[in-house]
Amino acid sequence: MLGDKYRVTAHGRLFAVIRGLCRGKALFDKISGMLINGIGAFIPAILPFLIA
């Protein structure tokens, strides 16, 4: 049985944590990558997403 005794997450909980980490980091990575390549790539790719 999974539980806090051995610090093992319950079934189905780990996927939610991994999904939350991936989703939270993607926007920052996309914006920083676009800014490195130039503002010309940033405006058409990110601005419509932020407005919607």
Name the residue ranges covered by the structural domains of the chain.
25-52
What does the pLDDT look like over 8-29, one tens digit per residue? 655 555 555 555 555 556 677 7
Query: What average pLDDT score do residues 24-52 get?
Result: 71
Per the prediction, the chain carries an average pLDDT of 64
Lowest-pLDDT choice from 18-22, 34-38, 39-43? 18-22
Band (pLDDT 50/70/90 cuts) for residue 41 is low
Given a contact cutoff of 8 angstroms between Cβ atoms, the answer to whether 31 and 46 are in contact is yes
Query: What is the distance between the alpha carbons of residues 17 and 10, in angstroms, rounded to a whole number?
Result: 12
Is residue 29 helix, strand or coil? helix
| pLDDT above 70 (res 46) | yes
| pLDDT above 70 (res 44) | yes
